[in-house]
A and B are shown apart, each in its own frame.
Chain A
Amino acid sequence: MESKLAHHVIAGEGRPPWYKADGQNCDCYVVGIAGGSASGKTSVAQRIIKNLNVPWVVLLSMDSFYRDLNDQEQEVAARNDYDFDSPDSYDYDILLETITKLKEGKKVDVPIYDFETHKRLTNKHTTVYGANVIIFEGIFGLYDKKVLDMMDLKVFVDTDVDICLARRIKRDVAERGFDVPGVLQLYKRFVKPSYDNYVYPTKKNADVVIPRGLENLVAIDLLTKHIQRQLQERKMQSRWDMARINPPEELPSNVIVLDKTKQIMGMHTIIRDINTSRHDFIFYADRLATLVIERALNELPYHSRVVTTPTDNTVQGLALRPHIGGVSILRAGGTMENGLRRVIRDAVIGKILIQTDPSNGEPQLHYCKLPPSIQNFSTTDSSHHTNSNNNDSNNSQQNDTFIFLMDAVIGTGAAGLMAIRVLLDHGIPENRIIFLSFLAGPQGLHMISHAFPSVKIVTSFVDRTLNPDTLFLEPGLGNFGDRYFGTESD
């Protein structure tokens, strides 16, 4: 089966699991690089990234974390009298928050600093999610104690100051339209004193000092090898281990299975039958999807409501409280979207593409696009975010959204686990997630319930066993996505 898969799936670089089997995030690896202005920090960082050759490396520049200048400071800056080389010109709170979140594997919005207005842009930011390695560089990269504590490897690039000055003159003249005396004046006034007083002393915080910067290929290669070795140690092979776990007989209490009515049993017989035409498979899958979604709606909160009927009588009724956002785990989870739209006409729908790596059976995250209205659940600490304004329009519904996470089959639970991890990393609370599927197996249900006990799971049927070699449920229904989309081999 795996060899056949390889012919069909266009294999890109997906992100392997970044969390442990219990669903908790592993820390990502943080490298801090400091050094004087024009010492070659960025070049060293880029060289490390190139040598590492692993996906999901994020390069974070300290330039993004300049402090907003107040009006008075703006005037000073306009006269070129403002000292941007001072450690006080950075916002270490946001820097620390950003690195902490990234290290925890959470989604972050990295600010974009506008050098014209000397303020962070209020309506724009760079969203970063899913880093295995973060490389953070800046002249004060090794300055703040709390930021230092977040780092796994601290590097100081110690390039000769004459060379740094020469590079700086060249760069500022060519790229920033300065003349040489202007550069030198700035250097004498701000750059050099700052380097001597603040930057150079941080060298003692470094684990490794790289003399000569980018030229020092030996040092960079040694560093790269070290990082690679550390990453290797953190790597996991989770999925196949899951398949070999013997789950308890009883299903977890957060699992809801549809009643075994004649129609449900009949529809399952049709979609499981190897001889069922695709036409029928799609039709009955869609019918089942509607019932799964309708069942899941009963897990949501309702509030009471009095209505007046056309006969002018009043009735004690109910109304659905929350908004609902769908998130389908592609490819097969997309088959539930029709069912969702049939029931919730205006449901927003996000998509997460998770594919199984044919070489080792591990899930890989390839793509993730979630509507803004289902992210950024208001948390207590968002008040000082200058960029939190851009989601104001959704604030009213943020606290009232439930996510229907949809996949066709929960086998090992590996894809579901990854998808739930993605949702949590985007700030969606665990108890707001309801995971829907046509078919599930005990392993996957226990795996997910164990990792995320507050996630409810609604499925139309639970099969007995998961084949540890093919990772298909048995008796099962084969590859749901292939049968629905018609991509199975003949």
Chain B
Amino acid sequence: MSTSLYVAPAQVTILPSTPQLKAMMSIIRDKNTSRADFVFYSDRIIRLLIEEGLNHLPVVEKAILTPTGMEYQGVEFQGRICGVSIMRAGESMEQGLRDVCRSVRIGKILIQRDEETALPKLYYAKFPPDIATRFCLLLDPALATGGSAIKAIDVLLEYGVPPERIVFVNLLCCPEGITALLEKHPRIKIVTAEIDEGLNEKKFIMPGLGDFGCRYYGTNH
């Protein structure tokens, strides 16, 4: 929250810190928030994140005719997109994407920590076959150490997606994660709602909001 000490790099877009966004973040950060409220307000923030994420996709000018018979100089969305969610927590953001991009194609990546090496390991990846020609919105609610996000982007690059076509969308970041991610993949973009102080010794974001996936899916104790 002490974002004043930390200046995010140019690749990072933070949602405007409006009172409404702060109020919603207050709700999902609160450990006493019910699951119903957690899901509802997370979904609302995700909706705003997706809308902002889409603003990083290109448009081309287009003139159209309105029903009044007048010409209007507008723009047209350019390029096909595809969502890629990092399982499991990233799947919570899929509905938000579908709400604004009907019948969008969604790829999935499962990355787990390897018990032997303690490094993130790819377990599963399933993408639309033409993913290399699409703009990718990579979905994961929180960016902590950046381990799985880096791995996920590695995979996307292997599948031929140019890094400048990847927008990583998340609710909460920390400076450590941003630094690690952009060091490895400097040409991607990040869209986030808030940047927290940093990580604690257990690699949790502080002050954070807990385990997003557990709270969203109700699997916490």
A residues at B contact (CB < 8 Å) = 261-263, 265-266, 268-269, 272-275, 283, 287, 290-291, 294, 297-298, 300, 302, 305, 307-320, 342-343, 345, 467, 470, 472-479, 483
Contacts and interface: CB of A to CB of B under 8 A. Distances in A.
A98 B98 CA distance: 54
Contacts of A269: 62, 64, 72, 74-76
A266 B68 contact: no
B204 interface: yes
Given A298-B18, A476-B70, 5 more contacts: A266-B77, A268-B74, A307-B31, A311-B204, A313-B206
Contacts of B162: none
Nearest to A286: B99
Interface in B18-46: 18-20, 22-23, 25-27, 29-32, 40, 44
A302 B23 contact: yes
B66 A320 contact: no
A23 B168 CA distance: 50
Which 9 pairs from chain A and chain B are nearest by CB? A478-B67, A317-B26, A269-B74, A310-B210, A313-B207, A475-B70, A307-B30, A475-B72, A273-B64
A475 B66 contact: yes
Interface stretch (B47-55, B83-91, B115-123): B47-55
A277 to B, nearest CB: 12
Contacts of A309: 29-31, 207-210
Query: Interface centre among A269, A473, A478, A483, by most B CB within 10 Å?
Result: A269
B32 A477 contact: no
A242 B66 CA distance: 23
A388 to B, nearest CB: 33
Contacts of B208: 309-311, 313
B215 A315 contact: no
Contact of B19 (A262, A290, A302): A302
Query: Interface centre among A268, A272, A291, by most B CB within 10 Å?
Result: A272
B71 interface: yes
Nearest to A310: B210
A274 B65 contact: yes
B211 interface: yes
B210 A305 contact: no
11 contacts: A269-B76, A273-B72, A309-B30, A312-B31, A315-B29, A319-B23, A319-B26, A474-B70, A475-B68, A476-B70, A478-B67
A272 B74 contact: yes
B200 interface: yes
B29 A290 contact: no
A298 B19 contact: yes
A319 B31 CA distance: 15
Contacts of B18: 298
Contacts of A265: 59, 74-75
Interface of B: 1, 18-20, 22-23, 25-27, 29-32, 40, 44, 47-48, 51-52, 54-55, 57-59, 62, 64-68, 70-72, 74-77, 99-100, 102, 200, 204-211, 215
Contacts of A474: 66, 68, 70
A483 B67 contact: yes
B18 to A, nearest CB: 5
Contacts of B68: 467, 470, 472-476, 478
A470 B66 CA distance: 14
Contacts of A483: 67
Contacts of A317: 22-23, 25-26, 29-30
A335 to B, nearest CB: 16
Nearest to B75: A265
Given A302-B19, A317-B29, A311 B206 contact: yes
A263 B55 contact: yes
A343 to B, nearest CB: 6
Query: Interface centre among A262, A302, A474, by most B CB within 10 Å?
Result: A262
A315 B1 contact: yes
Given A268-B74, A298-B18, A308-B32, A318 B23 contact: yes
B165 to A, nearest CB: 15
B13 to A, nearest CB: 11
B207 A311 contact: yes
A315 B26 contact: yes
A298 B18 CA distance: 6
Given A262-B57, A309-B30, A477 B66 contact: yes
A320 B20 contact: yes
Contacts of B31: 307-310, 312
A310 B215 contact: yes
Contacts of A273: 64-66, 72, 74
A29 to B, nearest CB: 40
A275 B64 contact: yes
Nearest to B43: A342
B67 A476 contact: yes
